[in-house]
Structure 1
């Protein structure tokens, strides 16, 4: 019998099926045995393409991070930060079960590191000191990951009787779940706008201080 025209297993197909299992059943549900069953092969066959389950998770995370957009920094740091944050949140929100793994850090993931490099480089090129660029990246990640991990509005039970007179300031909380997506999206945009506006004020102080230091050094050198 001749060899099949297309291989039964490919790295892309393996990652796609792994992500489906994670999205559908959760991160802990992924095992090489279950993945092999979904692909219709023996588990041993997977190890010809993937060394370990953890390595597979890093490959899947790389695919998700590939959709994150850092091109906005070529315009200015505000545009870059907003575009990065929105696309980062969208990527994570599409796969919430994978977020705990991805939130632990970029590790050695090529795509994650390239995005982190682009963000840091975009901020420092715009005039942010490296320390501030690191903190801005971290602060934005906190906002994005927290937003992607769950719904604030969706966490309220849609039973008006629960809130009653005991929680008078939450008397309309039973209505939140119905509008959860809208509230969560708007809340993220509010927080992102507040972050960027606050950073703009900080940026003006930082660049002004840097200019004063530069003038001072020039004066001290007799220039």
Structure 2
């Protein structure tokens, strides 16, 4: 049997190659993606008819696959689910921080990712949040997670260390650097706990006001 004259393509191969480009260069173009795969640019559109936007949304699904929960477990309240959701989402995005700006530039439409968002809203509403507040909570968590993912991909030296002009900042930087583990991950854990505690207090206050 004769071998194909050009490499066999698939949607999965296209997404994997595009993620490799984004991880290295921070972005991709359809012509550059085609060159990386050794095919013509026109052949890509048989598998990603929407072109660049189709690929970007495919990257969302690829990066998040299996990382974002779509249902709560027994005995899990909204805070525990939101915590698990945020950790899974952050883990997915922090592994590929350069993809974050691409994803935030277009509407979320990947079915599996949307199912996880749906589950988060459902848990919040089931546990007493009204619809509008539930959406605000989702947006707050979304912004925090994506910001934390960008922090994970930041340079090792985030703040210019100048002990003479900024002694307090420099001292804080060195203190954080002396702690074991990843600074960005520790920052995420501090922020997530603070954020969820604040949301919990606001939720309790709102519930108390409604019952008064």
TM class by smaller structure: 0.7 to 0.9
1: CA distance between counterparts of 2:126 and 2:52? 38
Superimposed CA distance per residue, residues 109-145 of structure 1 (whole angstroms, 9 cap, x where no aligned partner): 3233222211111110111111211111111112111
2: CA distance between counterparts of 1:118 and 1:105? 21
1:40 aligns with 2:41: no
1:128 aligns with 2:129: yes
Within a 5 Å distance, the mapping from 1:1-223 to structure 2 comes to 1-2=1-2, 8-27=8-27, 30-51=28-49, 52-71=51-70, 73-74=72-73, 75-104=76-105, 106-150=107-151, 151=154, 154-157=157-160, 163-172=162-171, 175=174, 182-212=182-212
| Cα pair distance change 1:14/1:105, threshold 3 Å | closer
How far is the alpha carbon of 1:171 from its aligned partner? 3.5
Which structure dedicates a bigger proportion of its chain to helix?
Answer: 1
1: CA distance between counterparts of 2:182 and 2:129? 33
1: CA distance between counterparts of 2:136 and 2:35? 44
Larger of the two Rg values belongs to structure: 1
**Greater relative CO (CA pairs within 8 A, separation 6+):** 2
Contact 2:163 2:171 in 1 (8 A): no
Contact 2:64 2:89 in 1 (8 A): yes
| Count of equivalent residues | 204
- Of stretches 111-120 and 89-98 in structure 1, the one that deviates more from structure 2 is 111-120
1: CA distance between counterparts of 2:179 and 2:24? 23
Q: What is residue 221 of structure 1 aligned with on the other side? A: none
Provide structure 1 residue ranges, at least 5 long, that are not aligned to the other structure.
213-223
Q: Secondary structure at the match of 1:155?
A: coil
TM-score of the two chains, using structure 2 as the length reference: 0.84
Superimposed CA distance per residue, residues 130-184 of structure 1 (whole angstroms, 9 cap, x where no aligned partner): 1211111111112111111134873124xxxx51322121233563568696221
2: CA distance between counterparts of 1:181 and 1:146? 19
